Chain A
């Protein structure tokens, strides 16, 4: 499984990528929508984990851009906001929606589920 992690908090995505690596999941990361798009253009990913709220581009907008590039890609939204609105949007727009702080085992389980046929 190949995962694209996108969050404007670099320490979060780099550490998550490292932890997923310990669990046999290949993860790449980006801190901006532009870098995420460049990665998706360069290589395919099974699933993208996107922060709902980021500067410049929202997770929702980024999902649409990534879908155009990789229509087969699945999406998991992550938020630190925890508002009702975020939950509504996240649940409606993505395959799954998770709240920060993340449970790494729950994340791996979720990733495995969304990429399962």
Chain B
């Protein structure tokens, strides 16, 4: 096992906090938007009720529609909060067996608004049985998030980005495509995201550009040889 110096851990701490801060800010913004809609919908129900008291004909359908839309906004906000909660709990264990496809889907969900702001639509795919790998769940989510951010910034003209997780020889591969032009190299990405190199080193993960497929590939290696995923 490689021994890292104090600078390594300091860089890692800064990156971990930055990522959690970025996700929290994005989610809080999204929830605030949901609350703003709920606030207006509830206000509209009050306005309709006041109008009815002043003699306007009762319109139960209109009230019912608004109530249903409030419930819909609450459900959307709840889904976002649940995703952030899952990210928060990914710090509970520093090494665990995780389904990398599930983790990638979680990061994609958390990244939804950021992607929308960049006019990109991101979806995730994984095999039915999942892709179990023994690793540090939070650090891996952080690495997937950095790769996703870099991929969204370089998505091709279709503006559609797919995050595909698949089993690989010694763990998993998370593929981000399709990127415009020749994509991006690891050194360029590490220049953009100062914490990326430290994260990859800690996770013993690799990063490569599949230029032909237009995909950025995060190679996740199992940190234990007796990984329940059965990887060698």
Contact = CB atoms under 8 A, between A and B. Distances in A.
Contacts, number: 59
A87 B35 CA distance: 19
A82 B47 CA distance: 27
Nearest to A58: B117
Interface string B12-53: 000000000000010001001101111111011001000100
Nearest to A11: B37
Contacts of B35: 100-101
B73 A19 contact: no
Interface string A94-109: 0000001110100000
A100 B32 contact: yes
B36 A19 contact: no
B116 interface: yes
B69 interface: yes
Interface of B: 25, 29, 32-33, 35-41, 43-44, 47, 51, 69, 73, 116-119
Given A19-B44, A55-B119, A81 B36 contact: no
Most buried by B among A8, A18, A102: A18
Interface of A: 8-9, 11-12, 15-16, 18-19, 22, 53-56, 80-83, 100-102, 104
A22 B53 CA distance: 14
Given A22-B47, A22-B51, A102 B40 contact: yes
Secondary structure at the A interface, as helix, strand, loop or mixed, is loop
B119 A56 contact: yes
User: Closest 9 interchain pairs by CB?
Assistant: A100-B36, A101-B39, A80-B32, A15-B40, A101-B36, A22-B47, A80-B33, A11-B37, A12-B37
B44 A9 contact: no
Secondary structure at the B interface, as helix, strand, loop or mixed, is helix
Contacts of A15: 37, 40-41, 43-44
Nearest to A83: B25
A97 to B, nearest CB: 15
B44 A12 contact: no
Most buried by A among B36, B38, B73, B117: B36
B44 A18 contact: yes
Nearest to B66: A15
A8 B32 CA distance: 14
B223 to A, nearest CB: 37
Given A55-B119, A102-B39, A11 B29 contact: no
A34 to B, nearest CB: 12
Contacts of A80: 29, 32-33, 36
A64 B33 CA distance: 24
